[in-house]
Amino acid sequence: MKAFTTLTLSTSLLSATALADTISFDDVTLGAAPPGWIATKTGKGAAKWTIEKDDTAPSKPNVLKQSGEATYPVCLKSDTSLKNGFVEVKFKPISGKEDQAGGVVWRAKRLPARHGHP
């Protein structure tokens, strides 16, 4: 799967104080995976997650791009906790023969050490 993936995460907690957080990749180094994210995959292949400039993105200028080939490329925000909230994510598939899809992962568990994370 090869896809430009632009991610906007908005959260609103149901309590006396509403909190919102929008994630942007505009201040992140181009060509690298975003800090605070676990860029990996499940299954076979090699996922390649990088921040790239995309003038057609709704959240110009930068997006999170997956350009490798893996069974299931996954990029997880490592410090996210959400309860009774809202998430919005936008995807732009640009190529792929088997799959042109994207989605949100819920209840991700700690990755094994083989993924390079403790």
pLDDT in tens, the chain (118 residues): 444 443 333 223 333 345 677 888 999 999 999 999 988 888 889 999 999 999 988 888 999 999 888 888 888 888 787 778 888 888 888 877 777 778 888 777 766 555 544 4
Predicted confidence at residue 11, as pLDDT, reads 29
Predicted confidence at residue 51, as pLDDT, reads 95
Task: Report the predicted TM-score, pTM, of the whole model to 2 decimal places.
Answer: 0.71
Distances (CA, A) of 88 to 22, 45, 63, 82: 10, 28, 15, 13
Domain positions in the chain:
2-97
C-alpha 16/C-alpha 80 separation (Å) is 20
Predicted confidence at residue 58, as pLDDT, reads 84
Return all residues near 30 (Cβ < 8 A) that are at least 6 apart.
Answer: 50, 51, 52, 53, 62
Predicted confidence at residue 111, as pLDDT, reads 60
Predicted confidence at residue 1, as pLDDT, reads 42
